[in-house]
């Protein structure tokens, strides 16, 4: 039965909410739909104190304006569920937020007639960060493929990076506070109302288990105000982000291995996630390796780090994970930034190859620089010649230096402006023109071809031949193609693998 309540926000905006139509509840709020279901209001069970109210006013005001009211602000709207208004009614405080997009609700539910009853419920990230959930419970149409998880992770990293650029920390980044839609490559950061501003608005929570940074876990019992106590901040977001990406790509936790630190489970948890936290794939200390014999079959092969090591994610992510879980695990200042993570993810996407096995669960794999590449998930070998494009860019004086960046070729793979110029990076700042492909690759007549769509300066360096827009060029081993003669323009050196 509909029970419409008309209320005014603190800025005078009028809203209509249905008090008989709850949208859910969390640890701090009870949430109800608006009359048209385009918005929700979350009523706090406990009235926020003065500092919390000031923070809320800034979140719906100046902080929101910094992100959404500037050039390119529309890009961020689907990536955050950002509160828009504050409502006060009879001593109760609530916040108005946009309703989650439809793709963040399970459409098909779980296997076996949705025995988990998740159809229509929110796609919390926890459903996609476990091999058991992935293989045993989720409908394949909800799962996406391995490449789509990279796209999802890029959006998460980019969103967290935007918060950090504004001087904000999420403070509770976890798979509960990030909605994901891997099938569509979508992500949305939620629970924005508890943002931390270092030195001004302290955190309300220490985080969610699995994602609490070791230094925070190790000092949990110290009283507030103790100078040795660590609280959530930008550096702890960096740890949580690295854990999220690792779990979404490898379906296991980077710190939960076989090592037991104390007979008391609570003490063991505090030590294993805090003071004595150890990467399960640490190169010189194997004492916390995961034990594949102790897990259910649904967690395999991902629980076995010897079969699916983190190196399957490629060299760029290996470097970032090493910084996050080895160098920076107990040294927050040495953790990779979110920009480091975003760059590694973007460059790894360029190393992706589709698996030739139609029954492969992951569908994609990352090229491992081997002469005979094969999918690490199903073992299927790549058949035929495989062009590997090494990117070099001009740095003045006619010199081209390596960019530590490769582009793998597959049929209907596109070439984009960020491949053509070192000065363009695929970020939220891309213009519409920069988002359009300038060429594509195709395997035709037993040959790999690059079709030039709109590059005016494409040239075969060896022959001096210009390849005009609308024409194509065959890719050959040791060939050099100039993509752009402008400053920062790229030259590609082609190597043929699997020949």
- 242, 344: one domain: yes
> What are the angstrom distances between the C-alpha of 494 and each of 305, 309, 385, 474?
33, 28, 12, 11
pLDDT tens profile 429-441: 888 899 999 999 9
CATH of the domain at 470: 2.60.200.20
- 153, 192: one domain: yes
- Bridge partners for 18 per DSSP: 4
Tokens of 349: 């996407």
- 115, 65: one domain: no
Half-sphere exposure of 350 (CA within 13 A, CB side): 21
> What are the angstrom distances between the C-alpha of 473 and each of 243, 451, 453, 456, 460?
43, 7, 12, 14, 8
Going by pLDDT thresholds of 50, 70 and 90, the confidence category of residue 448 is: very high
426 burial (CB, 10 Å; 0-12 / 13-18 / 19+) is buried
- 65, 114: one domain: no
Give percent of the chain with pLDDT exceeding 70: 98
Domain termination residue (choose one: 77, 99, 121): 99
Q: Does residue 369 belong to any structural domain of this protein?
A: no
> What ranges in 297-416 are assigned the alpha helix state H?
315-322, 338-349
Tokens of 355: 């698996």
Q: Does residue 366 belong to any structural domain of this protein?
A: no
pLDDT tens profile 385-408: 899 999 999 887 778 999 999 999
pLDDT mean across residues, the chain:
91
CA angle 121, 123, 127 (to 5 degrees): 110
- 59, 78: one domain: yes
Q: Does residue 225 belong to any structural domain of this protein?
A: yes
- 318, 179: one domain: yes
Contacts of 229 (CB under 8 A, 6+ apart): 219, 222, 223
Please give the residue range of the domain that contains residue 459. Answer: 384-497
CATH of the domain at 34: 3.30.200.20
pLDDT tens profile 319-336: 999 999 999 999 999 999
CATH of the domain at 186: 1.10.510.10
- 310, 408: one domain: no
pLDDT of residue 6: 84
Region 414-442 average pLDDT: 93
The number of residues making up the chain comes to 499
Residue 256 has pLDDT above 60, yes or no: yes
Best mean pLDDT range from 86-90, 222-226, 453-457: 453-457
pLDDT of residue 1: 41
What domain count does the chain have?
A: 3
Going by pLDDT thresholds of 50, 70 and 90, the confidence category of residue 2 is: low
Q: Does residue 376 belong to any structural domain of this protein?
A: no
- 82, 153: one domain: no
Q: How far, in Å, CA of 338 to CA of 445, rounded?
A: 43
**295/336: higher pLDDT:** 336
- 204, 329: one domain: yes
120 burial (CB, 10 Å; 0-12 / 13-18 / 19+) is exposed
Domain termination residue (choose one: 67, 99, 131): 99
pLDDT tens profile 175-221: 999 999 999 999 999 988 888 887 788 787 888 999 999 999 999 99
pLDDT tens profile 120-171: 888 988 889 988 887 778 888 888 999 999 999 999 999 999 999 999 999 8
Whole-prediction pTM: 0.94
- 72, 186: one domain: no
Q: How far, in Å, CA of 246 to CA of 129, rounded?
A: 9
Q: Does residue 379 belong to any structural domain of this protein?
A: no
């Amino acid at each position: 039965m509909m029970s419409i309540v008309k209320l005014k926000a603190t800025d005078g905006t009028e809203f209509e909410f249905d008090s008989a139509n709850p949208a859910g509840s969390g640890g701090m709020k009870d949430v109800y739909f608006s009359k048209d279901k385009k918005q929700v209001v979350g009523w706090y069970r406990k009235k926020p104190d003065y500092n919390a109210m000031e923070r809320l006013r800034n979140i719906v005001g100046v902080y929101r304006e910094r992100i959404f009211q500037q050039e390119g602000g529309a890009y961020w709207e689907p990536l955050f569920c950002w509160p828009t208004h504050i409502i006060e009614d009879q001593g109760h405080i609530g916040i108005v937020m946009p309703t989650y997009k439809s793709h963040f609700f399970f459409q098909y539910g779980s296997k076996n007639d949705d025995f988990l009853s998740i159809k229509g419920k929110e796609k919390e990230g926890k459903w996609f960060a476990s091999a058991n959930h992935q293989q045993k419970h989720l409908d394949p149409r909800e799962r996406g493929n391995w490449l789509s998880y990279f796209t999802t992770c890029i959006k998460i990293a980019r969103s967290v990076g935007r918060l950090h650029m504004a001087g904000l920390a999420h403070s509770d980044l976890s798979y509960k506070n990030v909605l994901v839609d891997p099938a569509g490559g979508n992500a949305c950061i939620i629970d924005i109302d508890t943002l931390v501003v270092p030195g001004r608005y302290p955190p309300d929570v220490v985080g969610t288990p699995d994602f609490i940074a070791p230094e925070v876990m190790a000092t949990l019992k110290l009283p507030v105000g103790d100078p040795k106590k660590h609280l959530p901040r930008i550096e702890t977001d960096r740890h949580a982000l690295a854990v999220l990406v690792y779990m979404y790509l490898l379906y296991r936790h980077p710190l939960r291995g076989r090592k037991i630190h104390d007979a008391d489970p609570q003490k063991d948890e505090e030590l294993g996630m805090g003071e004595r936290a150890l990467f399960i794939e640490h190169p010189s200390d194997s004492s916390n390796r995961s034990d594949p014999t102790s897990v259910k079959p649904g967690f395999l092969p991902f629980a076995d780090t010897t079969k699916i090591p983190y190196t399957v994610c490629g060299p760029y992510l290996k470097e970032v994970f090493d910084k996050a879980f080895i160098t920076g695990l107990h040294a927050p200042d040495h953790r990779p930034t979110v920009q480091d993570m975003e760059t590694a993810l973007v460059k790894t996407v360029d190393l992706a190859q589709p698996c030739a096995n139609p029954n492969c669960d992951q569908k994609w794999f990352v090229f491992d620089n081997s002469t005979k590449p094969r999918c690490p998930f199903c073992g299927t070998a790549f058949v035929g010649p495989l062009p590997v494009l090494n990117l070099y860019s001009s740095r003045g004086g006619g010199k081209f230096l390596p960019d530590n960046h490769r582009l793998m070729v597959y049929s209907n793979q596109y070439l984009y402006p960020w491949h053509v110029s070192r000065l363009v990076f695929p970020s939220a700042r891309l213009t519409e023109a920069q988002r359009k492909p300038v060429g594509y690759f195709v395997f035709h007549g037993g040959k790999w071809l690059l079709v030039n769509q709109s590059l005016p300066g494409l040239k075969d360096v060896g022959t001096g031949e210009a390849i005009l827009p609308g024409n194509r060029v065959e890719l050959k081993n040791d060939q050099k193609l100039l993509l752009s003669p402008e400053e920062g323009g790229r030259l590609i050196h082609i190597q043929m693998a699997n020949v």
